[in-house]
Amino acid sequence: MFMFDIAGGGDKAALYRDLGRALDALTADEPDAIANMANAAALLWEYLPELNWAGFYRVDPRRADELVLGPFQGKAACIRIAFGKGVCGAAAVTGTTQRIADVHAFPGHIACDAASASELVVPIMVAGRLFGVLDLDSPVPGRFDAADQAGCEALVAMLGPRIAG
Ligand code: SME
């Protein structure tokens, strides 16, 4: 059993600092990409409040223009997302984080879970190539702020080389 000391109380800088330490400890010595994505999804799901989905979509190695579902926590989700479709596809095509306060106002948003109201999608770039995206969904409108974006981008920067092997 793993024991983590993760800051609560609404201090997001402390929360993401502690999540970074925990994720580093979980993944540093493990070369298996699926194991590392699975533990990352579980960690984010447990410690980030007000989520209804947390997980990964990867660039399909058989089809370079499509994302395919990876390890996640939450309800069963859409399996494939074409580049350019939905929030995840926008992150994949642009290579930039998509922080969407109201997914219903986002053209082409893909509703895997009708409860989703806001979404944060961080592209995962490794050695200059897109590996996939980290996708977080929330039933709370405007759930993700700049601190969440910065925190998740830092987590992804560390995790990327450990899941792209
Ligand atoms: N809402 C996403 C699809 C993935 S699910 O949220 C898990 C999108 O629009 O890309």
Q: Where are the domains of the chain?
A: 12-163
Identify the helix (H) or strand (E) that includes residue 56.
strand 53-59
Give residue 5's pLDDT: 87
pLDDT value for 64: 85
- Helix, strand, coil tally for the chain in percent (to 5): 35, 25, 40
Tell me, in angstroms, the distance from the centre of ligand 1 to residue 13's CA: 26
Tens of pLDDT, residue by residue over 53-86, are 999 999 999 998 999 999 999 999 999 999 999 9
From 135, 138, 143, the mutation candidate for ligand 1 (largest count of ligand atoms within 8 A of CB) is 135
Determine the pLDDT at residue 4: 87
CA 109 to centroid of ligand 1, rounded, Å: 7
Distance of CA 145 to the CA centre of its chain: 15
Binding-site residues, ligand 1, Cβ < 6 A: 53, 77-78, 81, 86-89, 109-110, 112, 116, 119, 135, 137
pLDDT for 76 equals 96
Question: Which residues of the chain are modeled with pLDDT < 50?
Answer: none
Q: How far apart are CA 127 and CA 163, in angstroms?
A: 12
Residue-level pLDDT at 8: 84
* 0.85 surpassed by pTM: yes
12-163: CATH, from 3.30.450.40, 3.40.50.20, 3.40.50.300, 2.30.30.230: 3.30.450.40
For residue 164, the model assigns a pLDDT of 93
Host H or E run for residue 92: helix 86-94
Q: Exposed (0-12), middle (13-18) or buried (19+): which is 100, by Cβ within 10 Å?
A: buried
Ligand 1 atom with the smallest distance to the CA of 106 is 9
pLDDT of 68: 98
DSSP string, 91-143: HHHH-S-EEES-GGGSTT---SSTT--EEEEEEEEETTEEEEEEEEEESSTT-
